[in-house]
Structure 1
Amino acid sequence: MDGPLLVIDRDAAQPIGVQLVAGLRRGILTGALRPGDPVPSTRALASELGVSRSAVVAAFEQLAGEGYLEMRQGAATRVAAIEHERAAVAASPAAPTAPTRPGGEAVGSTDAAVPLSPGGVLRARLDLIPGRPSTARLDTRAWRAAWRHAASLEIPSESPPPFGVPSLRAEIADHLRQARGVACSADDVVVTSGTSEAAALVASALRIVVDGTPVIAVEHPGYPLARRSLENRGARTVPIGVDADGLVVESLVRMPQPLHAVMVTPSHQYPIGGRLPVAARLELLEWARAADALVIEDDYDSEFRHLGAPLPALASLDHGEHVVLVGSFSKVVTPWLRIGYLVLPRSASVREAIGDIRASELCPVPGVAQEAVAALLASGAVRRHIATARRDYAHRRQLVLHALDGIDRAPLSALDGGLHAVVRLASHAVSVAVVARLAAEGVGVAPLADYSAVPGDEEPGIVIGYASPSDTHLAEGLDRIREALLALA
C-alpha cells in the first residue's frame, strides 16, 4: 500500500488524517482494494507511512463508520464487501426510484425499486426506521465463542428455570450495578423476551395483586408496543402527557382516579427525547409511595448519552421499593436476541404473582440463548461494544445535526441521547406528504403520529433512526429528508 494509493504530502493544506481517509476511500472505489482484502494493521501502516498511529486509527474508524471497512475485535480489518458495492453506486448519480406495491413490483416500471424483506414486508432501500442498533462493530469472535460455550454445556432434560438461568441472572445484575448503579442481586432478576413481554408480565401480576383490572398510566406519546402489551394482558391504560423533560409528573399527581402503576422512560423519553430531571424523579417516587403504586421504568437506551452526564436510574434512587426496572439487549447488542429482563421490587405480593405466572407459562427464552448471552456479558464484549457504539452514534448524531438542524418550520429534537431524532412539522398534512415522498424515494422513516396514545391527538412530525445504516447510507437518506423538508415543510 505504499504506491500511489497512499501518498502523504506533509506540505499539503489537508491534514494527514484527511489524506489517509481520501487515499483509502479512493483505493476501494477504484477497485485497487477489493471486497474482503485485508488492510495493514494500524501500527504497521503508521510505521510504513511515518505518521502517528492515532491518525491511522481515526481514519480506519471513519471509514468503518462510512461502510468501507469492516473492523472486528481480534480480527484483521478488511474491505467491506457489501458496502463497497453500495459506495460505488453512491459515487454515481442516483437514478430516481419508483414506489412499489407489496408484491415488490414497481409502479410504472418493470424494475423493482424497493426490495422485500424475507418475510415479504416492504423494505426501504435507505432504512432509517428508528429502534435499530448497529451490529457492524460487534465482536464476532466473542459472539461465536459465547454460542460455542452455550452449545458445549450439558443438554438439560427440563425447561429453563421460571425466572431464567442463574448464570444470566447473575451477569445481568452485575451489568446493572456497573452500568446503571442499580444494587440488585441475581434473585431480583427475571429474564424476559424483551420490554413488551416484561410489561405484559407486570400487568398480569397486577391483575392478581389487585384482583381485578389494573389501571396503568402511560406516556403520550410513548412506546406503542409496550402499551398494547399492557392492554393485551387486561390492564386499562391512561395517557399522561409529556413535555420537553419527559413525563409531566404533576399531571400524574392530579389524576382523579387511583392508579396501580405508571410506565415511564425517564432517561430518554420515547420518542420525544426528554430526560426527567432528578427533582421530577424524586417527585415521581414520592407519588408512588403515597399511592402505593408501581413505577415501571423502561431504561431502553440509557447507555447512549450524547449530551450531559447520565442521571441515576429510578431503581437506584428507590432501593427496590416501588420501581420495576425493565430493560433489554435489543439496543445495546441486537434485537435478534429477543432477550431482556426486569428487576423485581421488594413487594412480596408482586414477586409471588410473577412467580406464579412464570410457573404456569414458563420462561419464553431458550436456555441455550440465555447461556450464550451470559457468556457474552462475562467476556466483557458487551461492555466494549457499548463503548464503541457510543462513539459511532455520537458521530452519526453529528451527521444528523449537520444535515437537518436549522430548517424553518421543521425543528429537530431528541438528540441528547439514544439512536433516533425527531423532526416536528407544522401539520398532519405536511407529515403525510413528507413520509409519502420519502417512501417513494426509498427512504424509510416513522410518522410521529404512530406513537400517540390517544386516537385523534397525534403530533405531526417524523422519527428518524440513525444508528443502523452506514454513514454513506445515512448521509444519502438525510440529503433526501432535507430536500423533502425544504420542499414541503
Structure 2
Amino acid sequence: MDQMGGSRVDQSKDVGKTERVVGRVRAMVQDGTLRAGDALPSTRALAVELGVARGTVVAAYEQLDGEGWIRTRQGAAARVSEGVPTGGPRPDGAGAARAATAPGAAPGSAPSPGPGSGSGAGPGVGSMPGTALLDCRPGIPAVTAIAAKDWRAAWRAAADAPLRNALSDPLGLPDLRAGIAAQLGLSRGFAPDVARVLVVGGTSEALSLVVEGLRNHLGRAPRIAVEDPGYRSGRRAMTSAGAVLVGVPVDEDGLDVDALASAGPVDAVVLTPTHQYPLGSVMPVARRHRLLEWAAGTGTAVVEDDYDSEFRHRGAPVPALAALDTAGVVLHVGGFSKTLDPRLRCGYVVLPAGAVPDAVVAARSARGPVVAEPVQVALAHLLRSGALRRHLGRVRRDYTHRRERIAARLDGVPGLEARALNGGLHAVVTWSGPATARAVVARTAAAGVLVSALEEYEVAPGSAPPGVVLGYGALTLPQLDRALDALLGALGVG
C-alpha cells in the first residue's frame, strides 16, 4: 500500500490527526485508488508509515468502519466495503476480477454479485449505489456485521449437538432460556427465573400467544389497547388471533396513560416504552410507574415490546418496565430480529406469575415448538460465548454514526423534523406543508429509494403527522447519503 505514503499526516498537532487519516482513506476509495475488497495496511504498519500513534489509526479505522467505508474484523485485515461509491476502473485493471463468495457464506464475508448483494441494505439492493433500488424501509439490521468467526462457531456448535430421537421442548431449549435470562440481567436490569422464559417465533408470534392465552382464560375475545400510531405487524397478529384492538394516542413521552384510562376496560395493553414504534419517544420513569400502578389496580396485563433497547444513542438507559414491576403484571417481549437477523424468527417472552401467564404457557405448549432446535443451539452459543455482546458493541457504534449523519443532514432544514433518533435503527422525518406522505414516498421511489409512509402505522386515520419512516440499520454511510438526497429531493428541499 505505497499509495498511503503519498500524504503524510502532520505530526506537529495532535488535533485532527484522526480526521486526516479518515479523509485520506475516503479520498482514495472515492478516486478508485482503493476498490471494494482491497485490504488496508494493519494499524501498526500504517501508523509507522504515516508517523502517527497507532491509536490514531485505530480510531480512524473505527470511524471509517462505522461510516461504512471499510469493514474491520478481529484477526483479519481491514478491507474496503462492498457497495461504496468509487471512481472508474483502475488504469492497470487491478481488482477487476475478485473471488466471489460461495452461496451460504457467513455474514461479514464479501457478497457475491447479483440481486440483493452489496452492503446488505435489504432486499433488492445492488452493489453500486445509483444503479439499483435501495430499500430503506425499516426492519433490517446490519445482518452482515457480525464477525464471521463468531457466526461460524455458532453454527458449528449447532452441527456438533448430538442427534436425539425426541421432540424439542415447546418452551425452548434450557441453554437458550438461561442465556436470555443472563443477558437480560446484564442489559435490562432484571434477571428472570429461567422457568418464566419462553422461546417464541418472533414478536408477532409472542403477541398472538398472549391473545390466545387471554382468550382461553377469559372465555371471550380479549380487548387490547395498542399505541396509535404503532407496530402494524403486531396488530395484524393480534387481530388474526381474535383480539379486539383499541387505539390509544401517544405523545412526546410515549403512550398517553390518561387516554388509556379513559378508553374503557381493556384486558391488556401492548406498548413499546423504551423506543416507541415508530415515533421514537421514550416513556420516562414517572409515567412508567403510573402505568404500572394503573395496570395493577385494574387487573390489566402489560405487554412490553422491548424490540431494540440494545441500541440507545442518546441519553441514559431507561429501565425495562419488567425491572420496575412489583405487582407481576408485565409480560416482557424481546428477540433477535434487530440484534442479529430477522430471518432467524426467534424471540422470547418473560412471564410473571399468575393465571394469565399460565394460560400463555399452556398455549405455547399446545402449539408445540416453533423455532428449530439448531437455531436455538446457535443462539445459545452466541450468548454463552460473549459473541453477541461483542457484536452489539460493534453495531451500536455503527448505528450511532448513521444516526449522527441523519441529524447533521436534516438539522436546520426549514419545515423538517427528524424524530426517533435517540435509539434504534430507523428515523422518522416529518414536515409542515401540503405534501402528502404517499406522494413523497412515490417520488422517493422514483429516485430509486424505498421508504415507508408514516400513515401506514396509524390505527385511526390522521393520528400521525405527514412523514416517512427510513430504516438505516443496514445502510453504509454513502448509501444513507443517497437515501437522504432522494428524500430531500422528493420534498423539494434538496
TM-score of the pair, normalised by structure 2: 0.87
Change over 3 Å in CA distance of 1:249–1:481 after alignment to 2: same
Q: For 1:403-430, what per-residue CA distance to the aligned partner results, in whole angstroms no more than 9, with x for missing partners?
A: 1122222222221111111112336743
In structure 1, the partner of 2:86 is 87
Residue pairs, 1:219-234, within 5 angstroms:
219-234=227-242
Q: For 1:419-474, what per-residue CA distance to the aligned partner results, in whole angstroms no more than 9, with x for missing partners?
A: 11111233674322211111000011110001001246553211111221101111
Q: Does 1:439 align with 2:445?
A: yes
CA–CA separation in structure 1 for the residues paired with 2:329 and 2:60: 48
Change over 3 Å in CA distance of 1:250–1:89 after alignment to 2: farther
Change over 3 Å in CA distance of 1:363–1:299 after alignment to 2: same
Q: Is the 8 A contact 2:332 2:349 kept in 1?
A: yes
Q: For 1:213-265, what per-residue CA distance to the aligned partner results, in whole angstroms no more than 9, with x for missing partners?
A: 1110000000001111111111111000000110000111222x311100010
Q: Is the 8 A contact 1:132 1:467 kept in 2?
A: yes
CA–CA separation in structure 2 for the residues paired with 1:138 and 1:73: 11
Amino acid at match of 1:40: P
In structure 2, the partner of 1:138 is 146
State the percentage of identical aligned residues: 45
Q: Is the 8 A contact 2:124 2:135 kept in 1?
A: no
Q: Is the 8 A contact 2:133 2:448 kept in 1?
A: yes
In structure 2, the partner of 1:451 is 457
CA–CA separation in structure 1 for the residues paired with 2:362 and 2:449: 46
Q: 1:128 aligned to 136, 154, 165, which one?
A: 136
Change over 3 Å in CA distance of 1:47–1:331 after alignment to 2: same
Q: Does 1:247 align with 2:255?
A: yes
Unaligned runs of 5+ in 1: 91-114
Amino acid at match of 2:316: A
Q: Does 1:58 align with 2:66?
A: no
Give 3-state SS (helix, strand or coil) of 1:258's partner: coil
Q: Give the C-alpha shift of residue 320 in structure 1.
A: 6.7
Q: 1:316 aligned to 323, 330, 346, which one?
A: 323
In structure 1, the partner of 2:221 is 213
Q: For 1:6-54, what per-residue CA distance to the aligned partner results, in whole angstroms no more than 9, with x for missing partners?
A: 5214279993223322333344445544443332221232233321122
CA–CA separation in structure 1 for the residues paired with 2:357 and 2:188: 22
Q: Does 1:391 align with 2:397?
A: yes
Residue pairs, 1:344-363, within 5 angstroms:
344-347=351-354, 349-363=355-369
Change over 3 Å in CA distance of 1:241–1:182 after alignment to 2: same
Change over 3 Å in CA distance of 1:194–1:7 after alignment to 2: same
Which deviates more from structure 2 when the two are superposed, residues 393-402 or residues 130-139? 130-139
Change over 3 Å in CA distance of 1:466–1:192 after alignment to 2: same
Change over 3 Å in CA distance of 1:12–1:472 after alignment to 2: farther
Give 3-state SS (helix, strand or coil) of 1:184's partner: coil
Change over 3 Å in CA distance of 1:330–1:475 after alignment to 2: same
In structure 1, the partner of 2:103 is none
Residue pairs, 1:188-337, within 5 angstroms:
188-255=196-263, 257-319=264-326, 321-337=328-344
Change over 3 Å in CA distance of 1:372–1:263 after alignment to 2: same
Q: Give the C-alpha shift of residue 401 in structure 1.
A: 1.0
In structure 1, the partner of 2:170 is 162
Q: Does 1:8 align with 2:8?
A: yes
Amino acid at match of 1:77: A
Change over 3 Å in CA distance of 1:51–1:11 after alignment to 2: closer
In structure 2, the partner of 1:409 is 415
Give 3-state SS (helix, strand or coil) of 2:86's partner: helix
CA–CA separation in structure 2 for the residues paired with 1:18 and 1:221: 41
CA–CA separation in structure 2 for the residues paired with 1:180 and 1:367: 26
Q: Does 1:340 align with 2:347?
A: yes
CA–CA separation in structure 1 for the residues paired with 2:223 and 2:320: 24
Which deviates more from structure 2 when the two are superposed, residues 333-342 or residues 9-18? 9-18
Change over 3 Å in CA distance of 1:5–1:480 after alignment to 2: farther
In structure 1, the partner of 2:98 is none
Amino acid at match of 2:55: S
Give 3-state SS (helix, strand or coil) of 2:342's partner: coil
Change over 3 Å in CA distance of 1:152–1:44 after alignment to 2: same
CA–CA separation in structure 2 for the residues paired with 1:26 and 1:247: 46
Change over 3 Å in CA distance of 1:427–1:454 after alignment to 2: farther
CA–CA separation in structure 2 for the residues paired with 1:306 and 1:62: 16
Which deviates more from structure 2 when the two are superposed, residues 411-420 or residues 56-65? 56-65
In structure 2, the partner of 1:97 is none
Q: Give the C-alpha shift of residue 197 in structure 1.
A: 0.7
Q: 2:406 aligned to 396, 400, 403, which one?
A: 400
Residue pairs, 1:22-101, within 5 angstroms:
22-80=23-81, 82-84=82-84, 86-88=85-87
Amino acid at match of 1:220: D
Q: 2:489 aligned to 480, 483, 487, which one?
A: 483
How many residue pairs get matched?
459
TM-score of the pair, normalised by structure 1: 0.88
Which deviates more from structure 2 when the two are superposed, residues 10-19 or residues 404-413? 10-19
Change over 3 Å in CA distance of 1:4–1:275 after alignment to 2: closer
Amino acid at match of 2:312: R
Change over 3 Å in CA distance of 1:152–1:35 after alignment to 2: same
In structure 2, the partner of 1:104 is none
Which deviates more from structure 2 when the two are superposed, residues 359-368 or residues 371-380? 359-368
Q: Is the 8 A contact 1:445 1:462 kept in 2?
A: yes
Q: Is the 8 A contact 1:5 1:23 kept in 2?
A: no
Give 3-state SS (helix, strand or coil) of 2:470's partner: strand
Amino acid at match of 1:204: E
Q: For 1:77-126, what per-residue CA distance to the aligned partner results, in whole angstroms no more than 9, with x for missing partners?
A: 2233x225x43479xxxxxxxxxxxxxxxxxxxxxxxx9769x9876722
CA–CA separation in structure 1 for the residues paired with 2:79 and 2:360: 48
Q: For 1:363-402, what per-residue CA distance to the aligned partner results, in whole angstroms no more than 9, with x for missing partners?
A: 2100010000000111111111111212111111111011
CA–CA separation in structure 2 for the residues paired with 1:191 and 1:230: 18
Amino acid at match of 2:325: D
